[in-house]
Amino acid sequence: MQTAKIAFAAAILFLFSLTASYGADVAKIGVVDFQRILEVSSSGKSAQAEIKSRGEKMEADLKEKGTELEELKKRLEREVLVMSKEMREEKEREFRIKINDFKSLEKKYKEEFKVLNNRLVNRIKKDLFELIEEMGKKEGYLLILEKREAGILYSPTVIDITDKLIPLYNEKVAKQSKKDK
pLDDT digits (tens, 9 = 90+) for 56-78: 999 999 999 999 999 988 988 88
Range of the domain at 169: 25-180
Give residue 26's identity as a one-letter amino acid code: V
What is the arithmetic mean of pLDDT over 49-60? Answer: 94
Q: Which position has the higher pLDDT, 107 or 154? A: 107
CB 134 within 8 A of CB 19: no
Domain contains 78:
yes
What's the CATH number where 70 sits?
3.30.910.20
Tell me the Ramachandran region of residue 151: left when phi exceeds 0, alpha when psi lies from -120 to 50, beta otherwise: left
Domain contains 8:
no
CB atoms within 10 A of CB 141: 17
Name the band, by pLDDT with cuts 50, 70 and 90, for residue 24. Answer: very low
pLDDT digits (tens, 9 = 90+) for 90-144: 988 999 999 999 999 999 999 999 999 999 999 999 989 889 888 888 888 888 8
- The CA distances from residue 9 to 1, 12, 60, 119, in Å, are 12, 5, 78, 60
What span, in angstroms and rounded, lies between the C-alpha atoms of 30 and 56?
37
Domain contains 13:
no
Average pLDDT, the chain: 82
- Looking at residue 65, what is its pLDDT? 92
What span, in angstroms and rounded, lies between the C-alpha atoms of 38 and 54?
17
- Looking at residue 9, what is its pLDDT? 40
Domain contains 90:
yes
Domain count along the chain: 1
Name the band, by pLDDT with cuts 50, 70 and 90, for residue 155. Answer: low
Question: 155: Cβ–Cβ under 8 A, 6 or more apart, which residues?
Answer: 31, 147
